[in-house]
Amino acid sequence: MKKILLTAWAAAALLTAQAGHETVVSIDRQNEVGRISEGVYGFLLEHLYHSVSNGLWGECVWNRSFEELQAQGRWTCNTEGELTLTARGESLRLFRIGKLRNGVLRLDVRRTGGDGDIIIGVRDQHREQMLTNRVFLRLGKNDRSIESGTGWIWHTPVAKVTRHALPQAVSRSSCWTPVEIVLQDNRISVRVGGQLLVDREIADCPKDGAVTLGAVQCDVAFRHIRMTDETGKEVAANLNLSRHWHLIGQGKTSTDYDTPLNQDVALRVVGQGRRVGIAQDGKYYLRRNDPLEGSLFLKGDAKQIKVQLVSGRQVVGEQTVGPLTDRWQEYSLVLASAVDCHDATLHIVCEGRGTFWVDQLSLMHRSSVANGGYRPELAQAVGSLRPVSLRWPGGSFSEHYRFEYGIGPQHRRRGILRWDDFDPLSFGTDEFIAFCRRVGAEPVIVVPIGYHNYAGYAPDSVLTAHDRAAAAPAGLPPGTTDWLQRALDWLEYCNGDTTTTWGRQRARNGHPEPYGVKYWEIDNEVWKMEPRLYVGIARQFSMAMKQKDPGIKIVGCGCGRLGVEGAGLDSILISDAGRHFDYISPHYYQTIDKYGDDGVEEYGRYLDKLAAWIANSENPQMKIYLSEWNLDGVDMRTGLFAGGFLNRLERTPAVEMAAPALLLRHISAPGWNNSFINFDQDRWFAAPNYVVFRLWRDHYLPRRVAIRGDGSPLNMVATTSDDGREMCLKVVNAGADGVRLRIKNGRSLGNALWEVVSGGLKDANSMEQPLRIRAEKMPVSYDGQDILINIPAYSASVLSWTTAAR
């Protein structure tokens, strides 16, 4: 039925086109006007929004190492919803338990030790949308205040803080004290112990945000936590210490910073004589013929631990392990399900009294294990695009990346929290290179220099006298050499032979032959750095890395959209240090309304300007690597932009490489909804940009040839193979009217095939309708020796010819 409806819609679009404007062109296949680099068909593969872990990498467990905490510090939560925090001798420790805009927060608080501040926060935006806004109630011996902080973190990493003194503190006694906070737009009132402490307007009060509990330099307990919105409706509090996990049964759970298996924290679960454990809801797709395989690490005094797959109230798969010991021990798991289920829950439980610790849990479908660890359908979706290159691990994810944390045994790896995702680095350098080889892509690795989006250039390592001495002659900030050494070590891990330190480590990890990674980029989006500081540091990185491996290519970071972010960086890098770089790497993201030629040419003109700067520089051989580009959305407009922009890249010889983003994104992600591949735990759909990119990629040919005539209002590129046997015309109609296209003497060009992607501007694919936007073959009509086709409104299409050998 879907196919009938789609075909009917396409036919109606073609009929509409018949009454539209006629464009007449001819293709001069003998007149080559440019060469097209196949490198424009690359991608950015960044770790964000579960694109890799829980996505391309077939790990099914979210937050497998429990390091992604909602509660920072030594917190305990019991079945009754009582929270306790031990923070004496420690700095600020916070627990964001839910969002509340207007409404009422009520709770009881009890100081159990120390004289520091108890924190009760509201409208805490916690760097959401780059904001630092929040309002904190501070109740302590020496600090009784209501504190408001404002700031946009992109420019003000330290918020502007305003404090108003309050008359009363919570005593040190063991008595529970009720607290009530009422929020109404900019007005906040606070009662503690029944006494009204404040009722006032807060200047620049944030409009929304989290309710936050915490303390500094004291121990505290909270109970009877209740939130209601302005209508009186209950707002659920999230009291789960580790994100994506919650306590079940009778008992308590706590974060253990003293004896984790690795990194910073493990979870401790204490039973009170009945069933107790932790659960992760709704994230498991079960197949009867595809069991989950993996392992978990446990210790404690519990006799047995059950690992269960639950559908509704039914246990559909189970394995029992134990007895536990007082040392961490790995237990292998094979969980076969008796049913197929889209959204099963995982339980880890102890029946009866006992205590257990859990860390490093991993489960993959057997099909993923057999596929090298990659989720088969997502690996195939990427492979079908045939990316020429994959840029990795980011993006801004690269800022904190330490390659040594992502190699070796999985349970020893140390993760990174970024982009709504604590990535355990289970997909590290070795897995990335293996995937590149699987899909035929050239790896591009981005090395960090110590820059951070939130703080600018801040090489934050502990410095030795040697570090400072090494930095001084080059005029570099202290700490630079630490990051440079890490980049050199990473290069050695990838390209060094087994006589080198890191080459031997790679061999010990099962990969004796050097990888020969050719492309290395010096950080990402360094737009908060003074341009000459970045250029000076990047120059040093380039010289040192090329000295270590003269065969590599170095990419220098460029500006953002039209030079607005990182203004001046491109010109300074080209003029001051161009000879040290093989590529310059700008980025271009555009709003959804700029899907047509206006958005395409807005940046196309900037690329022409950049190419002119390069041509007049001391290194005219430098090329452009447009390492991030896309439109903001997932409807048909992204497909139109992708086709039009790829045509522009094919017409711009200075662009040798390019990489749109995002490649993959879990549909639960809170931001960046522009991904080519969109997925959940068992399904995926292609956005229109994927559909058009794949059509264009499948018809890549290296010779751009002349088109005679006025092609407007269409965006067109004509290309042929080197042997002349293949030719294609890539056509984008971003307008609301159909266009009749006449190709003079088109019949003589060979056997023609026409593939069309079209739809309404806001039409989109989805899990329910994954093929709403797709490429369809359409008939080619002739008028004598001319080809006459009706280009639908809002369409991207390819007309291709094949001929006998010439």
DSSP labels, 204-245 = T--SS-EEEEEEESSEEEEEEEEEEETTS-EE-----SBTT-
- Strands 623-626 and 314-321 turn out to be unpaired
Last residue of some domain: 238, 254, 272? Answer: 238
Statement: residue 469 has pLDDT above 90: no
Statement: residue 672 has pLDDT above 70: yes
Would you say 790 and 783 are in contact if contact means Cβ atoms under 8 Å apart?
Answer: no
Report the b/e string of 66-85 with b at 16+ CB within 10 A.
bbbbbbbbbbbbbeeebbbb
Residues 356 and 283 in one domain: yes
Distance between CA atoms of 195 and 785, rounded to whole angstroms? 91
Query: How high is the pLDDT of residue 474?
Result: 46
Q: Does residue 76 fall inside a structural domain? A: no
- Structural domain boundaries, residue 768: 2-36+702-802
Summarised one tens digit per residue, pLDDT across range 623-657 is 999 999 999 999 999 999 999 999 999 999 999 99
Q: Which residue has the tokens 């080559």?
A: 32
Rounded to 10 degrees, the C-alpha dihedral 489/491/497/500 comes to -20
Would you say 391 and 659 are in contact if contact means Cβ atoms under 8 Å apart?
Answer: yes
What pLDDT band is residue 519 in, cutting at 50, 70 and 90? Answer: very high
pLDDT (mean) for 512-532:
95
What pLDDT band is residue 457 in, cutting at 50, 70 and 90? Answer: low
**How many of the other CB atoms lie within 10 Å of CB of 18?**
11
Query: How high is the pLDDT of residue 151?
Result: 64
pLDDT (mean) for 513-535:
95
Statement: residue 368 has pLDDT above 60: yes
Residues 21 and 53 in one domain: no
Would you say 765 and 741 are in contact if contact means Cβ atoms under 8 Å apart?
Answer: no
Query: How high is the pLDDT of residue 141?
Result: 77
Query: How high is the pLDDT of residue 591?
Result: 96
Distance between CA atoms of 664 and 47, rounded to whole angstroms? 9
Percent of residues, the chain, with pLDDT higher than 90 = 80
Query: How high is the pLDDT of residue 564?
Result: 85
Last residue of some domain: 698, 717, 750? Answer: 698
pLDDT (mean) for 58-73:
95
What pLDDT band is residue 208 in, cutting at 50, 70 and 90? Answer: confident
**E strands present in 613-662:** 623-626, 628-631, 655-658
Distance between CA atoms of 145 and 123, rounded to whole angstroms? 16
pLDDT (mean) for 38-46:
99
pLDDT (mean) for 376-384:
99
pLDDT (mean) for 678-687:
98
**Least confident among 51-65, 150-164, 351-365, 397-411:** 150-164
What pLDDT band is residue 200 in, cutting at 50, 70 and 90? Answer: confident
Statement: residue 12 has pLDDT above 80: no
Summarised one tens digit per residue, pLDDT across range 535-547 is 999 999 999 999 9
Query: How high is the pLDDT of residue 563?
Result: 84
**Least confident among 23-27, 143-147, 787-791:** 143-147
Residues 753 and 797 in one domain: yes
Last residue of some domain: 372, 402, 423? Answer: 372
Q: Does residue 151 fall inside a structural domain? A: yes
**Least confident among 107-116, 205-214, 750-759:** 205-214
What pLDDT band is residue 472 in, cutting at 50, 70 and 90? Answer: very low
Which CATH number belongs to the domain containing residue 692 in this structure? 3.20.20.80
Distance between CA atoms of 542 and 546, rounded to whole angstroms? 6
Residues 107 and 145 in one domain: yes
Residues 640 and 709 in one domain: no
Query: How high is the pLDDT of residue 168?
Result: 62
Residues 172 and 274 in one domain: no
Higher-confidence position of 441 and 101: 441
Statement: residue 247 has pLDDT above 80: yes
Query: How high is the pLDDT of residue 456?
Result: 62
Query: How high is the pLDDT of residue 461?
Result: 45
Distance between CA atoms of 523 and 534, rounded to whole angstroms? 10
Which CATH number belongs to the domain containing residue 188 in this structure? 2.60.120.560
Q: Determine the length of the chain.
A: 806
Statement: residue 155 has pLDDT above 60: no
**Least confident among 110-114, 443-447, 731-735:** 110-114
Statement: residue 455 has pLDDT above 70: no
Distance between CA atoms of 427 and 420, rounded to whole angstroms? 17
What pLDDT band is residue 147 in, cutting at 50, 70 and 90? Answer: confident
Percent of residues, the chain, with pLDDT higher than 70 = 90
Query: How high is the pLDDT of residue 11?
Result: 46
Residues 652 and 751 in one domain: no
Residues 315 and 199 in one domain: no
Q: Does residue 666 fall inside a structural domain? A: yes
CA 364 to each of CA 243, 266, 439, 800: distance values in angstroms, whole numbers, following the listed order: 20, 21, 21, 42
Statement: residue 471 has pLDDT above 60: no
Statement: residue 109 has pLDDT above 60: yes
Helices (H) and strands (E) in the chain, counts: 12, 49
**Least confident among 203-217, 382-396, 451-465, 790-804:** 451-465
Beta bridge partners of 555: 521, 583
Which CATH number belongs to the domain containing residue 793 in this structure? 2.60.40.1180
Q: Structurally, how many domains does the chain consist of?
A: 4
Q: Does residue 77 fall inside a structural domain? A: no
Please tell me the pTM assigned to this model: 0.92
**Least confident among 110-114, 491-495, 499-503:** 110-114
Query: How high is the pLDDT of residue 804?
Result: 60
Distance between CA atoms of 250 and 274, rounded to whole angstroms? 6
Share the mean pLDDT of the chain.
Answer: 91
Residues 648 and 737 in one domain: no
Residues 439 and 564 in one domain: yes
Higher-confidence position of 63 and 471: 63
Q: Does residue 231 fall inside a structural domain? A: yes
Residues 515 and 560 in one domain: yes
Q: Does residue 420 fall inside a structural domain? A: yes
What pLDDT band is residue 421 in, cutting at 50, 70 and 90? Answer: confident
68: nearest Cα among 210, 240, 215 = 240
Statement: residue 344 has pLDDT above 50: yes
Q: Does residue 570 fall inside a structural domain? A: yes
pLDDT (mean) for 252-258:
96
Query: How high is the pLDDT of residue 171?
Result: 56
Distance between CA atoms of 252 and 267, rounded to whole angstroms? 10
Statement: residue 460 has pLDDT above 60: no
Q: Does residue 75 fall inside a structural domain? A: no
What does the angle CA 27 – CA 30 – CA 34 come to, to the nearest 5 degrees? 85
Statement: residue 420 has pLDDT above 60: yes
Residues 216 and 307 in one domain: no
Which CATH number belongs to the domain containing residue 274 in this structure? 2.60.120.260
**E strands present in 546-606:** 553-557, 583-585, 587-590
| Residue 525 structure tokens | 């989006």
